[in-house]
Structure 1
Amino acid sequence: MPLADLGDVQLNYTLHGPAKAPPVVLVHALGTDQRIWDRVIPTLPDGLRILTFDLRGHGGSSVPEGPYSMGALVRDAERLMEFCEIRDSLFVGLSIGGMIAQGLAVKRLDLIRALVLSNTAAKIGTPEIWQRRMAAIRADGLAAIGAETMQRWFPRAYLKSGAHAPTEAIVEGTSVEGYLGCCAAVAGTDFYTPTSGLRLPTLGIAGSEDGSTPPDLVRETIDLIPGAQFALMRRSGHVPPIDQPEAYGARLTQFLQEVGHIG
């Protein structure tokens, strides 16, 4: 996979599809990487230009010294899209990716023509919750939060089947410095006011079994944007691209059609 050298960070990214095709940008959750989209992308229509990448401190991207700010993560996405010559995209952000999506839409509306805010919110958790999590990781590594994270992320039946194990391995294999850096970014973010100023086609997606960003929290954020749609995925958790990739891809395809991003 190529690396985009943006100066203070090098981002591992993948581009699928023809150069002049309608662009879609997919941004992953904290503690994962761009592989969470691997089973969604084949379900999307042909003829799209799809950009996925690993956040700073994640996957194959470089790990700058933390803590990170949400502004830095938004700037990373902005610079990578410019590097890849992508504008007027359908921008899909999941969890921390959805916070980045909100920040980028406020800053650079020319880069985003429609927005999908998935399993995310304008504010996630409290600084105290994040500080406790970060202290546990500093003391005992990411294994200290792996099992607890899976409990919040996946429906009970999915956990019982053991299907979560590869995702747990990805979370626990993430750079501690990178994970902590992004925790700091989320802990310091409250987008209620800027997000309430957005005026663009928006779809919110929530999982009925999501223990990290429950449906009511997602809906509260989506309701800040006039005309935004809200979709609830039944029997799905915090990362529906992993536990329900086909249904997730179908909902994205429907939205692509509704906003005229594809014919």
Structure 2
Amino acid sequence: MKHRTTRLTVDDGTRIAYRDRPSLSSSPSPSPGPPVLLLHGLAGHLGEWDELARRWESGHRVVSYDARGHGESTRRPLSVSRAAHVEDAVTLLRELDLAPAILVGQSLGGHTAMLLAADHPGLVHSLVLVEAGPAGRSPELPGEIAGWLDSWPLPFASLEEATAFLGHEAWARGLEERADGLRPRFDRDTLVRTMTELSADGYWPQWSRIRCPTLLVRGESGTMKPAEAAEMLTRRPDTRTAVVPGAAHDVHLDQPEPLHREIEKFLADEPTSRRADEPPRSDEPMRRSP
């Protein structure tokens, strides 16, 4: 089934493109599971979730969207702060009546989902982080991202050439066709700015106060450091974890079926009652994310 891309304008004027897939369940009982909101990573786009989204449509309403500065959303938004990214997701959850939702985020999208779960617990049913965590990054990160983007041999002459370089057809499908070939649907400098705040800050207080059921998924050869994952478990021992064999950083593209199985197993094992509304512990006062 072809799903139309719609746009929603948030408070600062940024237009967010999203795709809303209603549950295909024809049975009135049991009722469909909680809605799912999918958040992609840096330089990604909503279409890279299509294969996983189809697997959930039989029992969930599924919404994916282009983060600000990506895809068909506003290419050069006024702000690319972490708070602005969180507010975009919050607006979608509220305007589309999705809450409480299952948040599934990969890399940068997972970081956004994590901050949202910390500051807006009532909007979140459960949280799935794919190669994403709270650790602060190195000051060199924006420069590394700039170098990576500058290495793209643009324009790509064909979808096949783009797929060969980017590693996945799903990524290549996010490119736009111009007169000289295929080019990204994002502004290089905007993406570099997007990573600046992450490069200098850590988000362990936010991680520690999350109360909803959480699954952390890493790729067997992913880029997330084992020490970061270990510290996440030390601070929140109830976190479920999974390592997907044969997957690198883009677990949802490398191994979508094993990832889907891990998430379904996690959701099936969780009690029906949410823990999202539990108050923070006395030593973890509620704070706004930066």
Shorter-chain TM-score bucket reads: 0.7 to 0.9
Match of 1:194 in 2: 206
Match of 1:207 in 2: 219
CA 1:124–1:16 in structure 2 vs 1: closer, same or farther (change >3 Å)? farther
Partner Cα distance (2:130, 2:18) in 1:
20
Distance change >3 Å, CA 101–CA 165, structure 1 → 2: closer
Which residue does the alignment assign to 1:55? 67
How far residue 75 of structure 1 moved from its aligned partner, in angstroms, is: 0.8
Q: Which one of 227, 243, 249 corresponds to residue 254 of structure 2?
A: 243
Shift, 1:232, TM fit? 0.6
Where structure 2 has 5 or more consecutive residues not aligned to the other structure, the ranges are 25-30, 154-163, 176-182, 273-290
- Aligned equivalents of 2:135, 2:110: Cα separation in 1: 10
Question: How many angstroms does 1:42 deviate by?
Answer: 2.3
- Whose RCO is larger (CA < 8 A, sep 6+)? 1
Contact 2:220–2:245 (Cα < 8 Å) also in 1: yes
**One-letter amino acid matched to 1:87:** A
Whether the 8 Å contact between 1:96 and 1:186 is mirrored in structure 2 is no
**Structure 2 residue aligned with 1:218:** 229
Question: Is contact 1:17–1:47 with CA below 8 Å preserved after alignment?
Answer: no
Q: Runs of 5+ in structure 1 lacking a partner? A: 148-160
Divergent runs of 4+, >4 A: 167-172
Alignment of 1:74-223 (within 5 A): 74-126=86-138, 128-133=139-144, 136=147, 142-144=149-151, 146=152, 164=167, 166=169, 169=172, 170=174, 173=184, 174-211=186-223, 213-223=224-234
Partner deviation per Cα, 1:26-59 (whole Å, 9 max, x = no partner): 1011111112211112233612011110100001
Percent identity over paired residues: 23
Distance 2:196 2:220 in 1: 27
Q: Which has the higher helix share?
A: 1
Instruction: Give the count of matched residue pairs.
Output: 242
Query: What amino acid is aligned across from residue 23 of structure 1 in structure 2?
Result: P
| TM-score, normalised with respect to structure 2 | 0.75
**Which range is displaced more, 53-62 or 170-179?**
170-179
Q: TM-score, normalised by structure 1?
A: 0.82
- After superposition, the CA RMSD in angstroms is 2.7
| Structure 1 stretch displaced more, 189-198 or 96-105 | 189-198
* Structure with the greater alpha carbon radius of gyration: 2
Between 189-198 and 49-58, report the one with greater CA deviation: 189-198
Q: Alpha-carbon deviations, 1:50-72, whole Å to 9, x = none?
A: 11101000011012345621111
Q: Is the 8 A contact 2:23 2:57 kept in 1?
A: no
